[in-house]
Structure 1
Amino acid sequence: MFKRENGYKPWLINNKLDCCRFWRKHYDPFYKIVASLLSEFTNMNHTCPYVGPQILKGFYLKPELLLLPFPMGNYMLSLRWYYDKRLQVDTNVSFEFIEDLKTGK
């Protein structure tokens, strides 16, 4: 996770995850949030093995699913997907978080 501060800088989370293990038992709190954000838009929400195309389509950020408080700003979630210790896919999702100061949401 990166926050834009004079360029994108590492912010809060720098972690590795075994997806096959994670889908059997959601053991990592941060990736539980990421999974909840992506689950409606992908077919990658099942246990291994993954066969055929893995798709993430039509994604948009649902702020009500962000369970952590975020300071206002620009963010980038960078996900690197490895298989057999080789990088297969590099995914970057950028978003701007603006708090509605009138309602506090």
Structure 2
Amino acid sequence: MKRLLIIWMLAHPLQHYQCSAVIFKMTNAVCESYNKTWVEFGLCRLRAVSRNKVCLNVDANLLYPVHDVIVKARLLKRANGYKPWLYSVSFDGCQFIRRRNNALIRIVWELFKEYSTINHTCPYVGLQQVKNFYLRSEKLPTPIPTGEYLLMIDWVFNKKPQAATNVYFTFVEDLKDS
């Protein structure tokens, strides 16, 4: 037990120091509706707040009630074009909101839940928003390598692809501070 306490005490200050030496910033956001009679994007924009802080704002208007949501997400890393890298996951969005039983999806959920109106169970209808969301490295349980990334999310409602949101971001460890 003492050994674990000592390891935690040594790691905790290093973890805090590591977070302050990181740049974690969104660079682009693209939202596309495949079926404008079902989903309309009123806003899909990044807003620079400071040099290293960029906020994402998305307004999606769901014109019909959505009872069945499948989310297909992929994380790609740029290396001579965007290549599959870390994760490709597909999950039932309604079931996850009810139970939050997927650890990987829960990590992403913890990043943006306080900025979103998508925090209730199905059905979803009307305006759904992500407002003033920004990336915070201290919310990630493990570090990722320096690089440019693309998070591609396809939204499937009632077994039909309806929309896609692609968020580009950069993760840079500032090695001169460490």
Q: What TM-score do you get using the length of structure 2 for normalisation?
A: 0.55
Q: Which residue of 1 aligns with 2:104?
A: 30
What's the RMSD between the two structures over aligned residues?
1.4
Q: Which residue of 1 aligns with 2:121?
A: 47
Q: Counterparts of 2:78 and 2:119 in 1: how far apart (Å)?
A: 29
Question: Which structure's relative contact order is higher, taking Cα pairs within 8 Å and 6+ residues apart?
Answer: 2
Q: Which residue of 1 aligns with 2:55?
A: none
Check if 1:8 corresponds to 2:82.
yes
Find the partner of 1:87 among 161, 164, 167.
Answer: 161
Q: Counterparts of 1:75 and 1:41 in 2: how far apart (Å)?
A: 21
Q: Which residue of 1 aligns with 2:94?
A: 20
User: Which has a greater percent of strand?
Assistant: 2
Q: Secondary structure at the match of 1:38?
A: helix
Find the partner of 2:147 among 63, 73, 84.
Answer: 73
How far does residue 101 in structure 1 lie from its aligned partner after superposition?
Answer: 2.1
How far does residue 102 in structure 1 lie from its aligned partner after superposition?
Answer: 4.5
Q: Share of identical aligned residues, percent?
A: 47
Q: Which residue of 2 aligns with 1:101?
A: 175
Q: Secondary structure at the match of 2:119?
A: coil
Q: Secondary structure at the match of 2:148?
A: strand
Structure 1 residue ranges (4+ consecutive) displaced by more than 3 angstroms after TM superposition: none
Q: Secondary structure at the match of 1:89?
A: strand
Q: What TM-score do you get using the length of structure 1 for normalisation?
A: 0.89
Q: Which runs of 5+ in 1 are unaligned?
A: none
Alignment length (residue pairs): 104
Q: Counterparts of 1:4 and 1:33 in 2: how far apart (Å)?
A: 22
Q: Counterparts of 1:68 and 1:29 in 2: how far apart (Å)?
A: 13
Q: Which runs of 5+ in 2 are unaligned?
A: 1-74
Kindly name which structure, 1 or 2, has the bigger radius of gyration based on alpha carbons. Answer: 2
